[in-house]
Amino acid sequence: MAGSDTNSVVSVLATAPALEEWHLDLDGQGARREAAVARLHALLLRAARFEVFRRRASLPQLSAAELEELAQDAAGDAAVSVLRRLGDFRGESSFRTWAYKFALLEAAVKVRRRAWRDREVTLAPDGWSNLPHAGAGPEARAVDAALLDAVRDGIRETLTPRQREVLVALVLEGVPIDVLAERLGSSRNALYKVLHDARRRLRAHVAAAGYAEAR
């Protein structure tokens, strides 16, 4: 989800009075902590439901009960993350706002993974060879074709097999990065690093071929 999108959702959700003292009990023990954890889960479930049902168009085959199950799972995982990272809360925003973002992220990831669960992710490192040509006229098409040839050469000559695999899946096939991370047994951060390095190598190659303005 884009940052502005997340902030707008959070502002809609975080409308209740900011009675934040209860969250201090999450670091406590006994009945007070149990009550605080229950309250945290209820708040996160509210956020997760909002996000799951906002994205329900990508899961038309699921019933309301199945969407609710996704929201419940997202809220549970978000609660674990919040409790694990309580020390990261600095009070720069309300605790409610800070915690909601965990639920929004978990819900978004679960929806994307469910939407791709039965879809094949083709990890074909040679998929770049099918990059399409475009252009409004003969001259534009010629320039575009030359640039694409430079990009193809860069992918073939400068990238590692892993970099080609990740680039094709994320950029050309449109596979969500969390879905690809799950399929490859990797992490989002690791794949971001691979993609960053691949793009850096491609930019250098394309610039050396005379297309310094390419990004």
The 3-state secondary structure of the chain, one letter per residue: CCHHHHHHHHHHHCCCCCCHHHHHHHHCCHHHHHHHHHHHHHHHHHHHHHHHHHCHHHCCCCCHHHHHHHHHHHHHHHHHHHHHCHHHCCCCCCHHHHHHHHHHHHHHHHHHHHHHCCCCCCCCCCHHHHCCCCCCCHHHHHHHHHHHHHHHHHHHHHCCHHHHHHHHHHHHCCCCHHHHHHHHCCCHHHHHHHHHHHHHHHHHHHHHCCCCCCC
Of the given ranges (31-45, 48-62, 113-127, 189-203), which has the lowest mean pLDDT?
113-127
Q: Average pLDDT of 36-41?
A: 94
**pTM score:** 0.59
pLDDT for 86-96, tens place per residue?
A: 989 988 888 99
Listed residues 84, 116, 148: the one ending a domain: 116
State which amino acid sits at residue 120: E
- Does 21 have pLDDT greater than 80? no
pLDDT for res 1: 47
Pick the closest to residue 178 from 128, 121, 126, 125 (CA basis). 121
What CATH number does residue 50 fall under?
Answer: 1.10.1740
199 in the same domain as 165:
yes
Judgement on whether residues 8 and 84 belong to the same structural domain of the protein: yes
Best CA proximity match to 81, nearest among 101, 67, 96, 97? 101
Question: How many structural domains does the chain have?
Answer: 2
Q: Which CATH number is 148's domain given? A: 1.10.10.10
Place of tokens 């992918």: 155
132 and 110 within one domain: no
- Do residue 180 and residue 138 come from a single domain? yes
Are 79 and 182 within one domain?
no
pLDDT tens sequence across 163-180 = 988 888 888 777 888 888
Domain carrying residue 71: 3-116
Q: Is residue 122 part of a domain?
A: no
More confident residue, 118 or 42: 42
